[in-house]
Amino acid sequence: MCGICGIFNLTLEPVAHRERIDAMSERIVHRGPDSHGKFELPHLALAIRRLSIIDLATGDQPLSNESGDVTLVFNGEIYNYRELREPLLARGHKFKTHSDGEVIAHLYEERGPDFVRELNGMFAIALWDERAKRLVLARDRAGEKPLYYWRSNNTLVFGSEIKALFEYPGLSRRIDREALAQYFFYGYFPAPRSVYAEIQKLPAAHTMIVERGEIRIDCYWRLQEYLRPPGGPRVSARVEAELVEELRARLREAAISRLVSDVPLGVFLSGGVDSSTLVATMSELTPGNVNTFSVAFPEKSFNEELYANLVARHFNTRHHVLPADEKNLREALDILAGHLDEPVADPAVIPTYLLSRFARSEIKVALSGEGSDELFGGYPTYLGARLAEYYLRLPRFVRRQFFDRLKRFLPVSSTAVPKGLFLRRFLTHAERDPAERHHIWFGMFNPAELDQLFSPEWCGPKPPSSVIFAPLAHVLEGTQFDEPVAEMLYLDFRMYLEDNLLVKIDRASMACSLELRTPFLDHRLVEFAAGLPASLRVRRFQLKYLLKKAVEKWLPHEIGYRQKRGFSVPIASWMKEGLRGYLDETLAEEKLKRDGLFNATFVRRLLEEHWSSRADHRKTLWTLLSFQLWYDRWGKSGS
């Protein structure tokens, strides 16, 4: 795992401020503290900060082919590099290292920019072709590794994190107003936007080809090509049994491929189905020799220690538990404010950081279960989509009466699974378009709240709610689904996973120089899951139906069929108690009025309602707090 950055002049004139490449690289040293490399031409500068995982002795970057006319830096891991290397050797290619990255240079010689189609891995790549005078940037299929860029006239600047780009002179720090409205709705910035108007993300599964003064961005892998077409045949019991066996084989294959390493590995273990499955596959290969790491919260409804310990004992792992309390949660919040150069509204970034820092004292690589929920149907909102099918069959006047009576009895709760909050959102928005409804259920501020959030001076004549659904239309273009749940799964993979979960785990783990690998995102497994009927992923009101069938013989029953909690923080109660003063100070009414972005009176009302337990505003307030911490650190000074 590494961090990369670069500066390029599109017309091949000497690049301005080329000397800034060293400062850019220094800003991302946490991503790769083991070595520093650089490649320079008059019109190009590439730099790499390396975290050594494979080929510790000779794998430093930049890497090149034998003639030196193809040179690259890359962040990530290529898991099938050995399989790719052998035929390349047979065709006469000469290798100088045993690293996974050198395969990229030789593969490019044969395939050109299409080389990315052969890679199984997570990566952000910058490759220079001297003969063609071509720069190629590429990101992996799911978007595990980040790549941001800025263009001004003939200058292109890019890097693994935004903070590296800001070392180059002349970048504007103007906030993108539409992107900000989308952040407060989704809790993240849908690609290709970032919080800054002039900085964009290269989307997942895309390449950027820069040659002859032009930039072309191409998609090399489309998940919609693997979706089950509407009206497909019903799956028989025999076919279902075959799919269970195939899923087991693909899970093993994905996990085994991600064990390639020359340094110690471990697993982030919550005690849920996903992480426990990874422990099971690792333990099959190295029984009694697996390191597992968990966080324990004092709050009962958030604490999964019982389940994690059960799995650790079952597989005889070397289990490590980090107790988490308000003191170290607050410490992590302060540290992350300096690392997150773009707001992240997912509170799970805090325990992810703490667990990464804790694990880094023992290992350099950890496996994590991200992607399973989006592929196999793990979120309660999918049950909401199922329930909506039945609810919408009732006459409208019956639905109205039902809602009016029930909402008076819905509790305000601080637990990890706030049923009252979910039910309120479900009943209020059940009649909307399924894609919009899903994101309102899942999201932060609903459209009506969003239009109250910003000050009139900031949002201007266009209401913020008018721009929030544009990313949905873009992602859904050209797609068809066999039922609404399939559409939700697709959207969560393309948006929530790419722009929230993977951003969260990348920033939190790389802040600690720890590499996180996600076996569920092996593209062969992703393609298999995309082709499954939604009814095999969410069977009536059972989440992860097929996955649980596949792993039930590997896991204790109480693990395989327990209720999902997710990896989160008790923020609802924390904001009422230990974090109340910090929240009050950060979102102080006079302070917000001076900043001029928000309707300070509306924000104060949210705080008062939450503190008095008249409402559960955990999501909206955490999204505000996360933004304001970023804004105080990065948005004002740009430091």
Catalytic residues, by residue number, are: 2
How many angstroms separate the CA atoms of 419 and 416, rounded?
9
Q: Measuring CA to CA, how many Å separate 558 from each of 252, 317, 527?
A: 22, 18, 29
Angle between helices 618-630 and 326-339 (to 10 degrees): 50
DSSP codes, 546-575: HHHHHHTTTS-HHHHTSPP--S---HHHHT
In sequence order, what are the beta bridge partners of 128?
71, 135
Structure tokens at 463: 């209401």
Cross-strand partners of 303 = none
Structure tokens given for 473: 């239309």
Cis (ω within 30 of 0) for the bond into 62?
yes
Element (H, E) at 374: helix 372-376
**The length of the chain, given as a count of residues:** 639
Instruction: For the chain, state the CA radius of gyration.
Output: 24
The whole-angstrom separation of Cα 630 and Cα 339 is 9
- Give Cβ neighbours of residue 458 (< 8 Å, ≥ 6 apart): 177, 596, 597, 598
322/434 Cα distance (integer angstroms): 40
| b/e 494-524 (16+ beta carbons within 10 angstroms → b) | bbbbbbbbbbbbbbbbbbbbbbbbbbbbbbe
**How far, CA to CA in Å, does 603 sit from each of 137, 220, 431, 587, 607?**
41, 43, 28, 8, 6
Rounded Cα gap, residues 133 and 12, in angstroms: 8
Q: Which residue in the block uniquely carries the two structure tokens 């790499």?
A: 48
d(CA 473, CA 466): 13
DSSP one-letter code for 538: E
CA distance 221 to 213: 25
Q: Give the whole-angstrom CA distance, residue 32 versus residue 6.
A: 16
Query: First and final CA of the chain: distance in angstroms?
Result: 25
Placement of tokens 């009016």 in the chain: 404
Token pair 């190009």 is found at 44
